[in-house]
Amino acid sequence: MYDRHHHGSRRISIRERDTSRDCLAGEKGEAMNCIECGSEHWIEEMTNVPFRALPSVTLVIPVRRCAECGDEEVVIPNQEALFRLLAHLLIRKGDRLAGAEVRFLRKYLGYSGERFAQVLGKRPETVSRWENDKEPIGFSSDRILRLLVAKGDAMTEYGADDLASLPGETRKSRDPIPEPQPTRLEYRDDWYQAA
Instruction: Note the pLDDT of residue 172.
Output: 54
- Expressed in angstroms, the distance from the first to the final Cα of the chain is 29
All structural domains of the chain, each given as residue ranges with its CATH number in brackets, are 2-77 (no CATH), 80-174 (1.10.260.40)
Instruction: Note the pLDDT of residue 31.
Output: 59
pTM, to two decimals: 0.65
- Distance CA(176)–CA(17), nearest Å, equals 39
Instruction: Note the pLDDT of residue 174.
Output: 59
Instruction: Note the pLDDT of residue 192.
Output: 67
List, in order, residues 6 or more apart from 193 with CB less than 8 Å away: 85, 89, 183, 184, 185, 186
Task: Per-residue pLDDT tens, the chain, 195 aa: give them.
Answer: 333 333 333 333 444 444 443 334 333 345 578 888 888 888 888 888 888 899 989 988 888 889 999 898 887 888 888 999 999 999 999 899 999 999 999 999 999 999 999 989 999 999 999 999 999 999 999 999 999 999 874 333 334 444 445 554 444 555 666 677 777 777 777 776 765
99 in Cβ contact with 131 (< 8 Å): yes
Instruction: Note the pLDDT of residue 151.
Output: 87
- Distance CA(191)–CA(78), nearest Å, equals 8
- Distance CA(12)–CA(33), nearest Å, equals 15
Tell me whether strands 72-76 and 10-16 are parallel, antiparallel or unpaired. Answer: parallel
